[in-house]
Amino acid sequence: MAYSKKVIEHYENPRNVGTLDKDAGDVGTGMVGAPACGDVMRLQIKVGADGIIEDARFKTYGCGSAIASSSLVTEWVKGKTLDEAMTIRNSQIAEELELPPVKIHCSVLAEDAIKAAVEDYRSKHGQGAQHAADSA
Ligand code: FES
Ligand code: FES
């Protein structure tokens, strides 16, 4: 398996590895698994009072592409709103990391993980409906 330079760079020097307190009110946690290979990714976001993602952490049990995808996504979500984070597509991740077709599911895992983290945060804040933020 030939990994791209960008995958290797993230794999050797992953950004934002670690854990945030999943019970904290300002943290959203997304945990997803890839049925294709049994890999697991946990991605967490910390959201500021202004609704901007201030910080992100990940832990991934998986291949180099899965680790690189989660590392990249933790960089991308910082400074974004929740709505903006929800627009990140696995195709953008795959393109940035030059993933070959058999590794596309690794980037899907990262897209699903960030969505799950945003949804977890929103469920904690009673924002199941996307624009119900005002009365909180
Ligand atoms: Fe699961 Fe890649 S097949 S680590
Ligand atoms: Fe399964 Fe990468 S997450 S091969």
pLDDT at 128 over 80: no
Q: Percent of the chain having pLDDT more than 90?
A: 85
Q: How far apart are CA 67 and CA 84, in angstroms?
A: 22
Long-range contacts of 71-74 (CB under 8 A, 24+ apart): 71/10, 71/11, 71/14, 71/15, 71/16, 71/17, 72/10, 72/15, 72/96, 72/97, 72/110, 73/43, 73/110, 73/111, 73/113, 73/114, 74/15, 74/16, 74/43
- Domain ranges across the chain: 5-124
Q: What band does 127 get if pLDDT is binned at 50, 70 and 90?
A: low
Convert the pLDDT of each residue in 41-67 to its tens digit. Answer: 999 999 999 999 999 999 999 999 999
The residue whose C-alpha atom lies closest to atom 4 belonging to ligand 1 is 63
Task: Report ipTM for this prediction.
Answer: 0.72
Tokens matching residue 47: 């959201």
Clarify whether 63 is annotated catalytic.
Answer: no
pLDDT at 2 over 70: yes
pLDDT at 92 over 50: yes
Distance from Cα 76 to the centre of ligand 1, integer Å:
23
pLDDT at 37 over 90: no
The residue whose C-alpha atom lies closest to atom 1 belonging to ligand 2 is 37
Choose the residue to mutate in 3, 37, 102 for probing ligand 2, maximizing ligand atoms within 8 Å of C-beta. 37
5-124 CATH, one of 3.30.70.1380, 3.90.1010.10, 3.10.100.10, 1.10.10.10: 3.90.1010.10
